[in-house]
Structure formats: C-alpha cells, structure tokens
Amino acid sequence: MKRAAKGLGMRHPKFTVRCPNCLSKIPVEKGSLLTVCEKCGIKYRICWPTPSQPMIRGLAAPLKQEEKRSHAKADGK
C-alpha cells in the first residue's frame, strides 16, 4: 500500500500572484492563463515570463461583451 505523502508534499511548487486590488495572494495553477481572486471575484489574465513565475497581465472580463450583445439583440427593432 502506497502512502501519498500528504503532509510532506512540498515538492510541487505552488505559484501565486498578488491581486492588485486587494493585495492578497492568488494561487495560480501551473500553465494557467486565468485566475480568479477569491476575495474580489476578479478574473485576471496570467502570463508566464518564465515557467516558474506567473504574472498578472490584465483583467479578463469577457462577460460584459456578452451582456452587451444580448442587450443589443433585445434593443434591435
């Protein structure tokens, strides 16, 4: 029976970025291009200048466009 070293599992690195809004650390999965601040609920785009260092590239807010679209649809006569 194999035991996963849960308590000792410090091997895999955890990546974090700092939320520019609330300054709390946001965990980022390796290679992920999006992350969400749990405090603010803001979505950020992530870029990777190096494979071990994520950086916030900017806001990711695709939802507003969808809102606009449906609004335009309802408005179009």
Only segment of 1-9, 19-27, 52-60, 65-73 that touches Zn ion (CB under 5 A): 19-27
Measured between alpha carbons, how far apart are the two ends of the chain, in Å? 68
Stretch that binds Zn ion, among 8-16, 29-37, 48-56, 57-65 (CB under 5 A): 29-37
Task: Identify the residue among 19, 28, 46, 56 touching Zn ion (CB under 5 A).
Answer: 19
Interface positions, 48-67, toward Zn ion (CB under 5 A): none
Residues 57 and 77: their CA atoms lie apart, in Å, by 39
Per CB under 5 A, the list member of 14, 16, 18, 21 interacting with Zn ion is 21
Long-range contacts from 10-15, C-beta under 8 angstroms, 24+ separation: 13/52, 15/52, 15/53, 15/54
